[in-house]
Amino acid sequence: MDRWEQRFGGRLLPLQYRAIDEFGLMEGQSLLISAPTSSGKTFCGEMALVRAVLTRRKGIFLAPLKAVAEEKYRQFENCYGAAGLRVVIGTRDHPENDPVIAAGRFDIAVMVYEKFNALLLTDFDLLGRVGAVVVDEVQMLADGRRGAQLELALTKLLYSEYRPQLIALSAVLGDATGLADWLGCRLLLESGRPVELRRGVASEGTFYYRCHNSGTVGQEPVKTGKDNAEVLFENIREAVAAGRQVLVFLKSRQETVRAAMRFAEYAALVALEENRRRAVDALVDEEPSILHDTLCNLMACGAAFHNADLTAGQRRAVEEGARTGWIMAVFATTTLATGINLPAAVVFIEPQKYCHPGYGGRAGLRPLSWAEYESMSGRAGRVGYEGADGEPGRAMLLAAGDLERSILWDYYVERRPEPLVSQLPLQAAEDVILDLFSSEMAKNPDDCARILKRSYSACGRESIPFGDETYQRLLANGFLTCDEAGWQVTPMGRAAAVTGLTAAGARYILDICPAISSGSDMQIIYSFLHSPEGREIYLPGSGRHRRWTALAAPGNGREEDPLLAELTARRRELTPEEANRLRLTFLLSDWMDGTKTPEVERKYTLHLGMIDTLARQAGWLFSSAAAVIRAHDRLSPFRRRLEQIAFSVGYGLPPEAKPLHDELGGVLFRGELLRLYRQGITDRAQVRAAGRPLLREMISSEKRRMAIEKILENTKEETMLTVQEQTVPEQTGEEIRTPRMIEIEGTPVRERYLVRIDGHSITLTGKSFKYLVSLVWSRLTKDNGWVYKEELEQGYNQARYLYRLRQEIGRDFLPQWPLYENNRSGYYRLVADRRQIKVNVDALKEIPDYEIQRMAAELQPVVVAG
């Protein structure tokens, strides 16, 4: 409660009161909450998650985008992780968490839609341990890229026997009743906003608006100028001078940078020393890039840009600066609006955006949809940004004259939301069927038909028809089998579904493998980029088509790579799409070969954020392909090669640097890892041997130096532990002995806790006591007694604290007892007979630590039975 009060203040918003008092939120009632932004929907979801955890169940929060998931994870970790809950994140960027989530070693998981659907394919029964599922932005069911995945996941959940509390959060909907009926939720509608918002169009010196809450129409004067750019800058300057933060949505990445720089010059913004220090501190842990200094200088002036060219860390720095109030004007792309949670007093919106080409051409401009406009305009008028006098928020479109003003007014301000349109019928039939079979919910085609009748698409209509030819294609391509034992999904089919590859994409990969398995890395990359998923990796910019076409022309002097020799032999000019794929192939090749980041940025006229995004998308494609090939032929040597390419492409490092990246990649930049690798340093033990002077020379950030030194200290302690574990029996010449009795008493003694080993009273520090309780809990509640290191504590410090536990217990009275064993795969087990352990469960329940209390509750029946 204290943490909630710190984050949200001492009072609930009206929507939150209604959810609790009238709609049974805290009694487990499933709800569809449809309300404007800033009305308090998300906290309703958080309360449901915490309720699930307090009833010994798990909570899952689903987000539409990685950026949203990352933000929610940080918020939840800071709030609930600090209170002892295990919070994890599930996105493609965090594959290390996949086994943690699959094993249920979490209390709250924040996941993107696709990861949640993949979880249901690997272990659907995990839902039996889940008490609440919160779906953020459920209106994304109508999104062309993510809607089908979300609908499939929810359809399976609704069809199953499991009934976790479902909290669906949505902006204002056109058919909220129909969606609530499908979800089986009570519908909580809220039309009002805690802070009034004026939405409208500014034209020729007047802002014409409609108030959201009252519905009244009004006008107010605004600054004018010779064109829209000057009008925009004049009004931003006026708002900033009045102490109101401004958010500007523009159509392209380049325009956000140019506009931020032009505004800083136009408004004669002066860099403040305090802001410069804040900017340097915020960006010190970011890898140097071309945009780094530009962004830092703008932030020092109180302005910033926010787009996909920035790294995730740079975007976080901008967001945090805006939230804390020292960045007053942020220029962001319209395409990132869903993933940016930046409240402001005033929002300006350019009502168009660039969209990826559907047929291999260039990106084109399209008008914003009403839903996108609603989301962007809702960033204005948020709680905490209304000013002392209750100033309403303002969301402005700019029009050049009366005609344009009338068009924008009718299309955006007066328009009402339309019903959601399901995207599931647009999904390839083979992929839907493969998903249902892989989840093991469907055992035959009739099951598929029954499950799909429960889909949103089928609400009030016939089920999605899949003809026999769909099943025949899946059989012919080796994704399904059908014999006297019935229908079965093959390992290859399951691998495609779980990784997220389409059936067409998996088949393409398997078909081209014989021809390219012995080819060069560039040949493999170029071939994979022509797969269905590879074509989805969009490389922005024309890339000077003729320049890249020339590389494949006879006499180019670059025939040394088999790919270029192959393209030259065709004796024809590349198509624009082929030239685009070739440009991306060269980029990924340079990236994986260790070319310096600024050099890659200049050569391909791209920035680090975009390069990193492209590289990670390509890395996912190759790792998914490797999984399918492994399922098809587990002995295939090509699978190993693809795994190496996946790592190198995804992280821009040679395969030999993988141990170094796995251990230090969370702290060191790509450039720093490459520098270590080129000095022959390939793991953290060698980093430690190189000494602290090397770290001081490489790393300017004290925070990162301390993080590295923690990891290196772990190396020292793990080495000492390994030596001790291996030499104790040899040194003594005696067999390992275990205590006759271990008593977990738990009585507090001057900020320590009491245990007894063979009658010897020992007081342990809080951390060591918690580790011992975890070892005991695992020994008594699990058949094999092993506890995974992430169950002890997330991060890198488990070995350090186990070492301290051993030191605190001491060896004087039982030198042959090693305390615990380690299987070298991240699992630990208490070396003790289960029958010789006693636990004071009542005392543990009184300790103010949630995890210890949870373990005490799970130990209760074991101790009673014992």
Q: Has residue 388 got a pLDDT over 80?
A: no
- Strand blocks (E) in 294-351: 303-306, 329-333, 346-349
Cα–Cα nearest to 520, from 561, 569, 492, 469:
561
Tokens of 198: 């004026």
pLDDT 10s digits, 396-449: 999 988 999 999 999 999 988 888 999 999 999 999 999 999 999 999 999 999
pLDDT band at 788 (very low <50, low <70, confident <90, very high): confident
Q: Has residue 739 got a pLDDT over 70?
A: yes
- Strand blocks (E) in 340-391: 346-349, 352-355, 364-367
pLDDT 10s digits, 150-167: 999 999 999 999 999 999
Between CA 839 and CA 860 the distance in angstroms is 9
pLDDT band at 567 (very low <50, low <70, confident <90, very high): confident
Q: Please count the CA atoms within 13 angstroms of the CA of 312 that sit on its side-chain side.
A: 13
Q: Regarding predicted confidence, which is higher, 394 or 400?
A: 394
Cα–Cα nearest to 789, from 127, 86, 119, 128:
86
Could you identify the residue written with the tokens 């302690």?
Answer: 717
What percent of the chain clears pLDDT 90, i.e. is strictly above it? 57
**C-beta pairs of 549-558 under 8 Å, 24+ apart in sequence:** 549/573, 549/574, 549/579, 551/582, 551/586, 552/582
pLDDT band at 552 (very low <50, low <70, confident <90, very high): low
Between CA 84 and CA 61 the distance in angstroms is 18
Q: Which of 15-29, 492-506, 555-569 has the lowest mean pLDDT?
A: 555-569
As a whole number, the mean pLDDT across the chain is: 87
Between CA 436 and CA 444 the distance in angstroms is 10
Q: Has residue 724 got a pLDDT over 50?
A: no
pLDDT 10s digits, 263-309: 999 888 888 899 999 999 899 888 889 999 999 999 999 999 999 99
CA distances in angstroms from 708 to 80, 263, 695, 799, 804, listed in the order given: 26, 40, 8, 15, 20
Single-letter amino acid code for the residue at 860: Q
pLDDT 10s digits, 642-676: 999 999 999 999 999 998 888 888 888 899 899 88
Q: Which of 130-144, 244-258, 704-718, 762-776 has the lowest mean pLDDT?
A: 704-718
| pLDDT score, position 734 | 47
Q: Regarding predicted confidence, which is higher, 790 or 819?
A: 819
Cα–Cα nearest to 275, from 303, 251, 254, 314:
303
Q: Which of 279-288, 557-566, 694-703 has the lowest mean pLDDT?
A: 557-566
Domain 428-499 class in CATH:
mainly alpha
- Is domain 197-413 annotated with CATH 3.30.420.280? no
Between CA 755 and CA 31 the distance in angstroms is 46
Single-letter amino acid code for the residue at 490: T
| pLDDT score, position 383 | 76
pLDDT band at 358 (very low <50, low <70, confident <90, very high): low
| pLDDT score, position 755 | 93
CA distances in angstroms from 729 to 137, 725, 733, 817, listed in the order given: 59, 8, 6, 9
| pLDDT score, position 544 | 54
| pLDDT score, position 726 | 40
Dihedral over alpha carbons 859, 861, 862, 866 (to 10 degrees): 130
Q: Has residue 2 got a pLDDT over 50?
A: yes
Between CA 465 and CA 468 the distance in angstroms is 10
| pLDDT score, position 730 | 35
| pLDDT score, position 227 | 86
pLDDT 10s digits, 180-221: 999 999 999 998 898 999 999 999 999 999 999 999 999 999
- Is domain 503-652 annotated with CATH 3.30.470.20? no
| pLDDT score, position 723 | 39
pLDDT band at 735 (very low <50, low <70, confident <90, very high): low
| pLDDT score, position 708 | 79
Residue ranges of alpha helices (H) inside 652-765 are: 658-664, 670-678, 684-690, 692-698, 702-732
Q: Regarding predicted confidence, which is higher, 49 or 337?
A: 49
pLDDT band at 256 (very low <50, low <70, confident <90, very high): very high
**Assigned CATH for 2-189:** 3.40.50.300
Q: Please count the CA atoms within 13 angstroms of the CA of 701 that sit on its side-chain side.
A: 17
Residue 232, SS3 per DSSP: helix
